[in-house]
Each structure stands twice: as structure tokens, then as C-alpha cells.
Amino acid sequence: MTGKLKAPKGTHDLFPSDSEKFAAVEATARRVFGAHGYGEIRTPTFESTELFARSVGETTDIVHKEMYTFPDRKGRSLTLRPENTAGVVRALVEKGIQDIPKPIRLWYAGSQFRYEQPQAGRYREFRQIGVELLGVASAAGDAEVLAMLFAFLGALGLTDVAATINCIPRGDARAAFSKALQEHVRPHADRLGADDRKRLDENPLRLFDSKDPETRRFLEGAPATLEFLDAASRAHHEELKNLLGKLGVRFTESAGIVRGIDYYTLTVFEVTSDRLGAQNAILGGGRYDDLVAELGGPPTPAVGFAIGEDRLVDAMTADVREPRTLFAVIPDGPEDFPYALGVAQEIRALLPEVIVESDLLGRGVGKGLSRAGQLAREPGRHAHRIARVQAVLLGSQEREKESVTLKDLTTGAQDTFPRRQLAERLAGRER
Ligand code: AMP
């Protein structure tokens, strides 16, 4: 039996018209983060299951019900990474983080996997671009990361977004906050679903992750994180707000953000976009001062964020691809292919920035020209961002006389000249 093969539920293919946008976003990340001293790290797509249980947290939705976990052939439990911070920290601890000069500045881009109910903007395989700054305890670290984030979003044309920030109490203050939250929700315990009852008992902060409308109602008027901050945490938060103001980072404060991952301490933040539907969170991040020690390294403060790249691309209206000139090399028939391939090669060598495409279907100059003309009128049909189209017509006349006919499809101007003049005729046609 042969059924129709389909991509697994919740995954999607990126064809060039999309993948070139993703590549341009990643190139912008490399440029902006690189300018701040951040280098790219690439960690494995799968890790030991234990890593995520110990970092993201057993009682989070991610670990509890969204992981792709499987035994390998030797029976080791492995998991497709649901996020990348745990892998980065594991890699640093394994390499010997104590010997790496601080601050450590890293960024990554790659696929993450979560078994969620797919919908617009929510996938089972999705891409994140993230940043990690390790070794800086002061609010200056949070501020650097947030300011860099907004420099990146600005470079992508997303200038109308703001961060929502919060500060989660740590240590004894966190325990007191959890207890107060428990007391607030406890009277409604018998009306909670099984998952939320477990959260109430084991990790009340996680109640904020609940999608159950009843639970959300019970959380109204719940104790606010900011009221539980100890003096040092409060000072950290105040300093961060002060720095963000000075750096021109737009933000609002909200006590309702706790983020769906256990390792966060103090600062947490999110950015949402009105241009997205129900799944409107473009990114999330925060400080995770206890995670390195949790995973076996020396206590090392850290802060970072993860952007949902698929949602980011959806929210963008600007085209960040480099505009390029397309040379459509059009041989009249198969007998002109050798000449055409040679001319195409020569143009690429002369103008490395342009795109040179040979029409190798041998369907005649007329058809080739009309296809090139269509691209000139509707450059959006091409995977790349086409600034203008030049047709290079090569029929038997050109081949026999060793000449080239160049037609600018934007202006309509056409000219035939000897091939040996290509360099001087093409000079200045880069854009
Ligand atoms: P998190 O790692 O949960 O803090 O998520 C960070 C960002 O990743 C979110 O703000 C989303 O933009 C993106 N994200 C998380 N889960 C998904 C998903 N299932 N599909 C697409 N994007 C996602």
C-alpha cells in the first residue's frame, strides 16, 4: 500500500520564498549580536532527558506533556530539545565554565520541538533565535541584553514593540510568594483540573501557565510577585528600569508574567506583537542565576532570551533581504547552451553580488524573455529580493559573432556588443 506522504503534524517546510527571509533574519542576528561581542554556539538537537527535567522543571507544561522523548537503541532516554538554554548551559559546564573568561556572550539559532496542539503560530517544530550572557550579576547585564534585543528588532523594522517586564522573587521571598499564592487558590482546589491541582501542591507559580479559564479566574487578585521582592531584588529591578529608560528601551511592567520555565530568577520579560493572532508572543527571556549551579557548574549569574523565529518573520513587514540585480541569461535553443553557460559564468565572475540564472529549457528567446519580464513586473515571485532584471539574449547570431545582447527589462533599453566588452558594459550594473 502506498499512501500519500505528508510532513508530520505541526511541522512545516520552508521553501526558498520563506527560507531566504529566515536566512536574512539570522544574518541580521549575526551582525547585531556580533557587534555586541556575542558569538554563535550550536548545541545538539537532542540531549539527555534528565537535562530538561532538571532545568526547565518537572512540573512545567514543557517537561510534563510537551517533550519528544524516546529511548535510543541502548535504552538511554533522549529528548528533542524543547528550548536551547539548557543545552547551552550543559555545554558550558561540560567544557569547564570556570575556566572561560567572563562575561560569556553567546547566541544561537535552531529548531526546537514541543508536542503542542498546532495552530497558527504554534508548531511542533519551530525555530528560536536566542542569546545568553553569563557571568554578569548586575542589572547592567539584563539591560545590555534587552537593549541589544531592541537593536535587533529595530534592524528588522519592528519599531512599534515594547517589552513587558517583571521580577520574580528568589530564595525565601519566592517561598513566601508561593505560599501566598497557594493560600489564595486553595479554597478553589476542588474545582481545579488534575493538572492544576498538581501545580497547586507542587509548584504554585506554574498555575500562571494554566490555560483553564476557571483557574485563570481564581488567579485574579492573586498576590503580585513585585510585593514579595526582598530589598536586593527590588534594587535590582529598580536599577534595571532606570537603565532601560536611559537606553531608550520601551517597556511596561506587569506582575502577571512568570514565564513557563522554572529556571528564571528575578527579571523576566516578554515581547508581543499586535500583528500576530492568538499566539502573539514573539519572545521571552529573563535571568537564570541558579541554573549553572543546578547543572553542576559553579554559581554563575546569567540572563538571556529566546525569540520565536517563525512568529518574528510573520510579524515583520519590512523586507530585510538584500536587493539584488537578476541577470536572466536566455539561450535561444539547446545549441546555444554551451555559449550561454560560459557567458553566465563570466558575468558571475565580473559581478559577484548579482544573481545570474540561465534559462536552460531551450524554449526560445521569446518565451524566456516573457518569463524574465514577468519577474521584472512581479519581483515577489522570486525567492530573492530582485531590484531589477537584465536579460542576456544569446541566439545563433550572438554565438556565431561572439557577441552579447543585453536588455534592461526595467527601462526596455537593448544593446548588442562584442562579448570581450562584457566587463566595461556591465560596470556599474551591480544594483
Ligand atoms: P519559551 O521558550 O517558551 O520562553 O518561548 C519563547 C518564544 O518561542 C515564544 O515567545 C514564541 O515566540 C516561541 N515559541 C514557543 N513555543 C512555540 C511553538 N510551539 N511554536 C512556535 N513558536 C513557539
**pLDDT at residue number 1:** 57
- CATH number, domain at 125? 3.30.930.10
d(CA 83, CA 55): 10
- With H, G, I as helix, E, B as strand and everything else as coil, classify residue 393: strand
The verdict on 265 and 335 lying in the same domain is: no
Does any domain span residue 331? yes
Selection from 241, 210, 246, 206 nearest residue 226 by Cα? 241
Ligand 1 nearest atom to the CA of residue 283, by list position: 10
CB of residue 196 inside a 6 A radius of ligand 1: no
pLDDT band at 104 (very low <50, low <70, confident <90, very high): very high
The per-residue pLDDT for range 239-264, each reduced to its tens digit, is: 999 999 999 999 999 988 888 788 89
The verdict on 150 and 255 lying in the same domain is: yes
- pLDDT > 80? residue 70: yes
d(CA 429, CA 422): 11
Grid cell in block for residue 203: 509548584
d(CA 109, CA 41): 8
Give the dihedral sign, CA 151/154/156/158: positive
Q: Last residue of some domain: 298, 315, 332?
A: 315
- CATH number, domain at 352? 3.40.50.800
Distance of CA 199 to the CA centre of its chain: 30
- pLDDT > 70? residue 146: yes
* Number of structural domains in the chain: 2
CB of residue 271 inside a 6 A radius of ligand 1: no
Ligand 1 nearest atom to the CA of residue 260, by list position: 3
As beta bridge partners, residue 271 has: 163, 283
- pLDDT > 90? residue 413: yes
The verdict on 143 and 288 lying in the same domain is: yes
- pLDDT > 60? residue 347: yes
**Residue 170 CB: number of other CB atoms within 10 A?**
21
The verdict on 270 and 362 lying in the same domain is: no
Pocket test for ligand 1, best of 311, 312, 316 (most atoms within 8 A of CB): 311
pLDDT band at 416 (very low <50, low <70, confident <90, very high): very high
DSSP state of 384: S
The verdict on 25 and 56 lying in the same domain is: yes
**pLDDT at residue number 410:** 85
Does any domain span residue 374? yes
- pLDDT > 60? residue 282: yes
Residue 97's φ and ψ, nearest 5 degrees, are: -55, -30
The verdict on 307 and 342 lying in the same domain is: no
The verdict on 286 and 339 lying in the same domain is: no
Grid cell in block for residue 322: 538584500
d(CA 59, CA 261): 9
Q: Which residue's CA is the closest to the ligand 1 atom numbered 13? A: 308
The verdict on 156 and 251 lying in the same domain is: yes
**pLDDT at residue number 429:** 73
CB of residue 122 inside a 6 A radius of ligand 1: yes
Mean pLDDT score, 212-227: 91
Does any domain span residue 382? yes
Does any domain span residue 212? no
pLDDT band at 431 (very low <50, low <70, confident <90, very high): low
Q: Last residue of some domain: 315, 342, 372?
A: 315
Does any domain span residue 224? no
DSSP state of 322: P
The per-residue pLDDT for range 362-400, each reduced to its tens digit, is: 999 999 999 999 999 998 899 999 999 999 999 999 999
In the chain, count H helices and then E strands. Answer: 15, 16
Does any domain span residue 199? no
The verdict on 264 and 127 lying in the same domain is: yes
DSSP state of 53: I
Pocket test for ligand 1, best of 211, 271, 310, 316 (most atoms within 8 A of CB): 310
Amino acid at site 51: L
CB of residue 284 inside a 6 A radius of ligand 1: yes
- pLDDT > 60? residue 147: yes
Ligand 1 nearest atom to the CA of residue 121, by list position: 21
The verdict on 289 and 363 lying in the same domain is: no
**Cα 345 to ligand 1 centre (Å):** 43
**Residue 267 CB: number of other CB atoms within 10 A?**
25
CB of residue 310 inside a 6 A radius of ligand 1: yes
Mean predicted lDDT score pLDDT of the chain:
95
- pLDDT > 80? residue 348: yes
CB of residue 66 inside a 6 A radius of ligand 1: no
- Find the Cα–Cα–Cα–Cα dihedral 201, 117, 66, 121, rounded to 10°: -110
Pocket test for ligand 1, best of 114, 125, 272 (most atoms within 8 A of CB): 114
Question: Taking the chain, what is the end-to-end CA distance rounded to the nearest angstrom?
Answer: 53
- pLDDT > 90? residue 89: yes
CB of residue 407 inside a 6 A radius of ligand 1: no
Does any domain span residue 336? yes
CB of residue 128 inside a 6 A radius of ligand 1: yes
- State the residue range of the domain holding 264: 16-170+230-315
CB of residue 116 inside a 6 A radius of ligand 1: yes
The per-residue pLDDT for range 310-346, each reduced to its tens digit, is: 999 999 999 999 999 999 999 999 999 999 999 999 9
- pLDDT > 80? residue 173: yes
CB of residue 62 inside a 6 A radius of ligand 1: no
Does any domain span residue 245? yes
**pLDDT at residue number 27:** 98
- How many residues in total does the chain contain? 431
pLDDT band at 284 (very low <50, low <70, confident <90, very high): very high
Selection from 312, 325, 354, 380 nearest residue 28 by Cα? 312
Selection from 309, 316, 343 nearest residue 419 by Cα? 343
The verdict on 333 and 354 lying in the same domain is: yes
- pLDDT > 80? residue 428: no
Distance of CA 287 to the CA centre of its chain: 19
